Structure 1
Amino acid sequence: MEKLVLLRQADIAKLTRHRSGEVRFGEKMQLVPKGADCVDFISQSDAPYVLFGIPEDIGIRANFGRSGAASAWQTALESICNLQHNKFCKGNLILALGHLDVKAEMEEAAGLDLLHSQDRVKLGKIVQRIDREVSHLVFTIQKAGKIPVIIGGGQNNAYGNIKGSALAYGKPVNVVNFDSQSDFRIPEFRHNGNGFRYAFDEGFLKKYYIFGLHENYVSKQVLQTLRKIEDRIRFTTYDEIAVRQEKRFDEQMQFALAFICNDNFGLEIDLDAIPDVASSSMTLSGFSVLELRRFVSFFGRHPRASYLHICEGAPELDDVNKKHLIGKLIGYLVTDFIKSRQPAEE
């Protein structure tokens, strides 16, 4: 865990806006004390959720996406620090761990040219280095009996989440992915468009459900691949639900849950599926924020939901006056997940 940068009280204090008569998450979230063994503290803490960030966009760039997702962690952390600690959701349920130090990897990636295939392969190798760190950290958290809440970064990090979970449980895990794309492309080299494919091929991913796939952005090759293994991978398209109204949102959530709930499963959220959210692959057509929040709450309440990963949001690509909104959205999703599992006090 050498690449883990732990959050300290001074870091949280700088982000938390104190106000008389109010208590914020930043005043209540648990932190690893200075000098304490990190792994031991995670195990001994009574916080069921462990929050950490992956401030990178290397996997996105390797797939010709726009950079910017590296900024989501800090923006989200500030928003989470300023949530109200109250009977509906309590800050002390979260152990705010910190973030993976990927500064050297980001600097190395910045010197590579995407137009050169060899440089793209080099980017893939950098992503693999980050994969190892992510999988080890997720493994450590889940082995301690806690639930990781992961803020990306790109969805290339789904691979590390899945591998770490599978190693912790000693068997492959399932995933439901709220996304406009499958991210199941050929395993040419690692990037944000094939994390699920690598996890599947390597035996860490058992069943995979893609919720809200956009028909305009799934290749014929990927569709053919998915049809060959439909006993283990299924999907519902956004167009079927929202445009042609052949299927209902609630019914498809039930269908997806029935498909994956026999084993531990991860909850993957790609923010580029939401209209007007600044991301590597921004869209004007997609499900609403309200539908996404219902989705997180619905799947989060199942006892086999094993982690939450929110990725691809890119605040630095947004208008300067709107950058905070992605952090605010992530804060809503994190608390929706927690509230679905923790009953509010009377």
Structure 2
Amino acid sequence: MENLIRFKQSDLAKITNFRNGEVKFGEKMITVPKDEKVIDFITHCEAKYVILGIPEDVGIRANLGRPGANTAWESAIRSIANIQHNRFCKGSSIIILGQVDVSQEMNLAKNLDENNPEERKQLFKIVEQLDKEVSHIIFSIVKAGKIPIIIGGGHNNAYGNIKGTALAKGKSINAINFDAHSDFRILEGRHSGNGFSYAFEEGFLKKYFIFGLHESYTSKSVLDSIKKIEDRVRYNTYDEIKIKRNKNYEQQMIESLEFIKNDSFGIEIDLDAIPNIATSAMTLSGFSVEELRQFIYYFSQNQNASYIHICEGAPSLSEEKNSHLIGKLIGYLVTDFIKGNSQV
């Protein structure tokens, strides 16, 4: 598998804090042996979940957002390695595959100015290259019968997740997106704000539900375009649920699952929906961490849940003393997904 930096057993040992009387995920998670072919190994391995990191922020920059999401993968994997392996969740159910090798793309993007229209077009092209790499790896994981857990990078990677899963399943899939923004913007060139609209346009995304849109940050043109295709794309708003309170959170989870559950679906989580989490589009108003955790647990229990993607967290943008907390949050979300999904 090209463009993949494999995670080694020695990498796990370096980030696991060993302690007498305790067993950590880092002692139980599985890595692909260096002399084994990746696909053969993960196909025959009993572990159900495959963790993949995408440490990039090119898509965010192409969308004129703040960089920093490239730092989430390292923070997250350190936290995940130090979760307790116990009866509630077992590290042995996880293969840590590694990370997409984005060094070339990050290097090409490094000196480009996203505010220069011509250089922004170059960023679009770099994101297209990333799309190919992500979709190929996700395709391989899903084809091997496993469930990808994708961490880090911008929400541009939703496109590769959806395309790769759809190609492996042999048909278009659905998606539920827990997000303050639709990421269903115009097809102006690839970036983090239009992964779903490109996947929809190209036939990989069948039905799409956006959970918790912020009314003040969704353009009229996006709302108008969704209205024309509401048999396939629907949303609720954060304002309806938490401010106006004319919709109930639990009931909205039930209704949105009803919309997508009849086909394979991806669970997309944008951390900019949670207040005070350092992201490219940080917010002070949004759902709580507990509500997000309930959301993931609820949707993961459905047999058609095919992957989870946790993106846009940017530890490098947070307070230095607490930069580890985003990784810790991602660790909670990963185990919530596994706990719900392992019952299927």
Residue equivalent to 1:24:
24
Residue equivalent to 1:188:
188
Residue equivalent to 2:142:
142
Residue equivalent to 1:280:
280
State the SS of the aligned residue for 2:320. coil
Report the CA distance between 1:115 and its aligned residue.
Answer: 1.6
Deviations 1:24-68 (A, max 9, x none): 000000110111111100101100000010000000001110000
- The number of residue pairs the alignment matches comes to 344
Q: For the Cα contact (< 8 Å) 2:64–2:115, is it kept in 1?
A: no
Residue equivalent to 2:217:
217
Residue equivalent to 2:42:
42
| Distance (whole Å) between structure 2 residues aligned to residue 233 and residue 248 of structure 1 | 20
| Distance (whole Å) between structure 1 residues aligned to residue 202 and residue 253 of structure 2 | 27
| Distance (whole Å) between structure 1 residues aligned to residue 159 and residue 238 of structure 2 | 24
Superposition map of 1:1-346 within 5 A = 1-343=1-343
| Distance (whole Å) between structure 2 residues aligned to residue 308 and residue 186 of structure 1 | 25
| Distance (whole Å) between structure 1 residues aligned to residue 8 and residue 244 of structure 2 | 50
Which amino acid counterpart does residue 231 of structure 1 have in structure 2?
D
| Distance (whole Å) between structure 1 residues aligned to residue 342 and residue 226 of structure 2 | 36
Report the CA distance between 1:266 and its aligned residue.
Answer: 0.2
Runs of 4+ in structure 1 off by over 2 angstroms are: none
RMSD: 0.9
State the SS of the aligned residue for 1:187. coil
| Distance (whole Å) between structure 2 residues aligned to residue 341 and residue 218 of structure 1 | 32
Deviations 1:183-241 (A, max 9, x none): 00001000000000000000000000000000000000000000000000000000000
- Which ranges in structure 2 are unaligned for 5 or more consecutive residues? none
Percent identity for Structure 1 against Structure 2? 61
| Distance (whole Å) between structure 2 residues aligned to residue 36 and residue 73 of structure 1 | 24
Which amino acid counterpart does residue 143 of structure 1 have in structure 2?
K
State the SS of the aligned residue for 2:186. coil
- Which ranges in structure 1 are unaligned for 5 or more consecutive residues? none
Which amino acid counterpart does residue 18 of structure 2 have in structure 1?
H
